[in-house]
Amino acid sequence: MAKVLTEDELYDIECAIYNDNNEALFKSLPQGPEDFNDGGIVKELAEGQEYAIVPQSNIMVRKDGRLFNAKFIRTVMPMWTPNDILAIINGKQIRYSEIYKSRGWKFDQEEITQKYVNKKWKISVPKGYRQMYKELYG
């Protein structure tokens, strides 16, 4: 059963978007797959890990750093920068550091990046940072 937002929740989300307040926006992330998806697809993508669904999108971020589009059931390639890992979804930046902070998870960029390297998951590196990335992760 899909969760229906109340008028107050919709107003809070609208205010957070208007004021570009991502921290307030991420406060109301769904806590479990039943809040997002009836078919259990999110539960399968989570593979028993903690995860967050980004508000106003179908994007799921697992605690290990893997990024998925839960609607189309496919991975999304995040972008590495020296200070954060991010994705641009529908013209809006989604920063891992903000999502992790909102969930109370410890954001360790090096650990997440190392998982991407070791498991051969795809990650985008902007042209200006490619040499730095190669020096750090090979």
Q: What is the pLDDT of residues 67-90, one digit of tens each?
A: 998 878 888 999 999 999 999 888
Does residue 85 lie within any of the structural domains? yes
pTM: 0.68
For residue 116, the SS3 value is helix
The structure tokens listed for 104 are 């109370």
Q: What is the pLDDT of residues 18-58, one digit of tens each?
A: 777 766 666 655 544 444 444 466 777 777 888 888 877 88
Residue 70: per-residue pLDDT? 81
Range of the domain at 68: 7-137
Helix-helix angle 109-118:96-103, to 10 degrees: 110
Does residue 46 lie within any of the structural domains? yes
Q: Does pLDDT of 118 surpass 60? A: yes
**Number of structural domains the chain divides into:** 1
